[in-house]
Structures are given as structure tokens and as C-alpha cells.
Amino acid sequence: MPQVMDADRMSRALTRIAHEILERNGTRGTSDLALVGIRTRGVPLARRIAHALHDINKGHPDAADVPTGALDITLYRDDLMRHAVGPQPVVRRTEIPFSIDDRRILLVDDVLYTGRTIRSALDALIDFGRPRSIQLIVLIDRGHRELPIKADYVGKNLPTSRKQSVRVRLQEIDGEDEVLLDEAAEVA
């Protein structure tokens, strides 16, 4: 299984995304930004971007830390009740310890593929309030969209076939930072 991104490139991609966020939202604009990571791997990625934003803005008089939340989209999936067989996905806790009303929300996920996860996440987020805007951050965009969804910040565009599977591994969960491209389709 070939590695398509190592730890160093992952860290640089996330730092670049942090710079792009500030560029697009104004360097002093961090006060109404909030990061929301999609479980599982979007959550540590969101935390790392929050760190990167903190490091860049360090010493800036108006700098404020960007709050980070975790979103579980299981209850919003469109394929939940369509599994004829197979286990129900495990529901995990959604933790958004701040009001999303009038904030600019940065939604974070590891891989953008069909777009269905993001569709679910948008529905879930809207149930928590009315954000001023929602922007999408993904580490890997592998194409094959089934819905009209597009990322605002992309760590790496990775052309793939549907048979392949992309595996993002993170220090916090898997003990290592890397992205792998597997040939045989696997159940995610």
C-alpha cells in the first residue's frame, strides 16, 4: 500500500491551510471563527489546525483562540436504515461547547469522497443554530462526488479510482501520521 503523504507533508499541509484560513477570513478575524471536526479523524485534525492558528497569531493583540468541537454524524446518515445486514454504526457523542449562532464555522474532515458525510454534517450543524457561514476543510480530496459539495481548503488533491481506498492515519488515534492508498476496496 503506497504512502501518498508522510508526517512532514501532513504537518505542512495543515499549516498552509491555517494560513489560508487567516487570509480568507482576515488575520484579526479569528474571534468569530470556530472549528468543528467530524468524528473520528476530523476531530484531531481540527485541534491541530487550532494549534496552527494559535502559533501564527501568537503575539497579535487581537488574537483569540479558536474554539473546537466534535460532531458525530451517525444519526444523520442517509444510508442508516438501508443496511439489509451488517452492524449498526456506533453512535458517539457530539460535543460543541459553544454557540454556533453567527459564527463562521470551519468544518473539518479527513477525506472528501462522495460528499454524503458532509451533507449529513451540514444538517447536523444547522440543528445547533444558525452559523454566519460554514467552510469546509479536508486533508484529502479524492474526487467521485455524488452531491454538489466542494471543499474550501484542501490539503492534497488525490486522483483515485472507486476501487481504491484512502486511509488517513493520525498520531492521536493510529500512532502515526500518514495517508495510504490501498488498491483493494476495504470497508471503511
Residues that bind another protein (CB under 8 A): 72, 75-76, 80-81, 83-85, 87-88, 90-95, 123-124, 127-129
Residue 157's CB: how many other CB atoms inside 10 A?
12
CB of 42 to another protein, least distance (A): 16
What are the residues facing 135 on neighbouring strands? Answer: 106
CB of 11 to another protein, least distance (A): 31
In this complex, which beta carbon is closest to another protein, that of residue 32 or of residue 95? 95
In this complex, which beta carbon is closest to another protein, that of residue 42 or of residue 155? 42
In this complex, which beta carbon is closest to another protein, that of residue 59 or of residue 87? 87
Strands 178-182 and 3-5, by their bridges, are antiparallel
Distance CA 51, CA 101 (A): 23
CB of 84 to another protein, least distance (A): 6
CB of 69 to another protein, least distance (A): 11
In this complex, which beta carbon is closest to another protein, that of residue 134 or of residue 154? 134
In this complex, which beta carbon is closest to another protein, that of residue 123 or of residue 152? 123
**What does the block give as the cell for 70?**
466534535
In this complex, which beta carbon is closest to another protein, that of residue 120 or of residue 165? 120
Distance CA 5, CA 9 (A): 6
CB of 91 to another protein, least distance (A): 4
DSSP string for 72-118: --GGG-SSGGG-SSSPPPPP---B--S--TT-EEEEEEEEESSSHHH
CB of 124 to another protein, least distance (A): 8
| Coil, strand or helix at 43 | helix
Among the listed residues 157, 158, 71, the one whose alpha carbon sits nearest the alpha carbon of residue 118: 71
